[in-house]
Amino acid sequence: MDGIFISYRRDDSAGYAGRLYDRLAAHFGADRVFMDVEGIEPGLDFVVAIEEAVGSCRVLIAVIGGSLALFAWRAPTVGRGGAFALVSKETLLLINNVLLLAGMGAVLLGTVYPMVIDALNLGKLSVGPPYFNAVFVPIMLPLLLLMPLGPIARWKQDQLLPLLKSLRIEAVLAIVAAIVLPLLMGSWRPMVAVGAGLAVWVMAGVVRQVIVRVKTSWPPRAFWGMQFAHLGLAVFVVGVTFVSSYQVERDVSMAPGDTVSIHNIQLTLKGVSPVRGPNYEGARGEVIYGPQDQPEKTTGTLYTEKRTYFSSTMPMTEVGIDSSITRDLYVSMGEPTGNNAWAVRVYYKPFVSWIWAGCAFMALGGILAASDRRYRARKQTESNDAGEETSAIHEEKVAS
């Protein structure tokens, strides 16, 4: 059928479309003019009838009202409004997202690629600290450096010099931390100074933003989520930096009564006794430890076991662990070396718990941000709009 299809918005152009329909129907005939639901016979499927009418008509007339006409008129200026300067919150958010994606890709490549190579029988590939230090660390450095600037930068356009001036106290604290903290750990190292300085730089930025915001009004959950995530990343950096730079490992052969010292801690193998469990048997070593300068003082006791399970002939090691907020101490017992002595491996890892605490803070930040009341309200509004639209379509079908 060579007909005419009239499309219009009921809210602002129904009257104009009605008058146009009357004129066209008088000139061409009512059977050749289709006007939305007015041209659908009772009992026909609404969607199918619309599709058939559009496909069979040779002319389609769209009647727009004031709202769509205003949008069309303002479209050129709306497009230009999306621009932003090089120094702005948008730029910093963009850099943040790019760096996070690059970091995720680096970790994913270093983790998954060796497994893919092994699964395809193309050989063995080992990816360790040298890869991550060379790839992941350079990505994280600019991310940490720009992190305190993002929340305080203005939208669209800002000035770099005033931004940096507003963070001068944070910069001083970061420089002091870069100098002092490595010395407190026993030796000053460049990478430790960089990591400690950037971590304090981010922490100080978090404190500043919280103080400034709380003075005006109580922030929403999304704000707290952002601050917890930034704080968690800084705590994570402290843990990784100190562990990678100051961890100590000792491999020794010890008989009962022998001692070994590691980072001002003296450990003594008190004895080794047989142990039997429900599905294993083995030997249990009892290790006491205390300050190196006070040999008679005992701080705690660690138990490490060498087990052989009945279902397998491969021996397994149970590690003795003592954890604190500033360091973790590990003792692992190996194979007997003769003369009632055993191979013992001792690890001292500072600030390991900070790595887990940082991850927990970042996860908490994500939960707080996702549970913000504004996002829930927006979702509820979208659901209500979808429900109203469905009801309107249903009413139109019933009316037709």
Contacts 24+ apart (CB under 8 A), 121-128: none
Q: Give residue 83's pLDDT.
A: 72
pLDDT higher at 86 or 383: 86
Rounded-to-integer distance, Cα 25 and Cα 34, Å = 9
For range 331-359, the mean pLDDT: 92
pLDDT at 65 over 50: yes
Could you write out the DSSP letters of every residue in 298-321? --EEEEEEEEEETT-SSEEEEPEE
Structure tokens at 234: 């800084």
pLDDT at 358 over 90: yes
pLDDT at 198 over 90: yes
Q: Give residue 384's pLDDT.
A: 56
pLDDT at 4 over 90: no
Cβ atoms of 84 and 158 within 8 Å: the answer is: no
For range 167-183, the mean pLDDT: 94
Percent of the chain with pLDDT over 90: 42
Sign of CA dihedral 92, 94, 100, 106: negative
Q: Half-sphere exposure of 227 toward its Cβ, with a 13 Å CA cutoff?
A: 19
For 122-156, the pLDDT digits (tens) are: 888 778 878 888 888 889 999 999 999 988 898 88
Rounded-to-integer distance, Cα 182 and Cα 297, Å = 28
SS (H, E, C) 148-181: CHHHHCCCCCCCHHHHHHHCHHHHHHHHHHHHHH
Cβ atoms of 230 and 313 within 8 Å: the answer is: no
The position carrying tokens 């949008």 is 71
Rounded-to-integer distance, Cα 141 and Cα 149, Å = 14
Rounded-to-integer distance, Cα 21 and Cα 27, Å = 10
For 177-188, the pLDDT digits (tens) are: 999 999 998 889
Rounded-to-integer distance, Cα 209 and Cα 321, Å = 38
Percent of the chain with pLDDT over 70: 85
Q: Give residue 392's pLDDT.
A: 47
pLDDT higher at 97 or 10: 97
Of 14-18, 185-189, 252-256, the poorest mean pLDDT is in: 14-18
- C-alpha separations of 380 from 278, 377, 384 in Å: 55, 5, 6
pLDDT higher at 357 or 392: 357
Q: Give residue 350's pLDDT.
A: 93
Main-chain phi, psi angles of 186, to 5 degrees: 120, -25
Main-chain phi, psi angles of 381, to 5 degrees: -65, -45
For 322-339, the pLDDT digits (tens) are: 999 999 999 999 888 888
Q: Give residue 258's pLDDT.
A: 92
For range 265-291, the mean pLDDT: 91
Instruction: Please name every residue paired with 116 in a beta bridge, in sequence order, or none if there are none.
Output: none
Q: Give residue 400's pLDDT.
A: 44
Cβ atoms of 320 and 304 within 8 Å: the answer is: yes
For 85-101, the pLDDT digits (tens) are: 888 999 999 999 999 99
Rg (alpha carbons) of the chain, rounded to whole number: 35
Q: Give residue 34's pLDDT.
A: 78
Q: Give residue 321's pLDDT.
A: 93
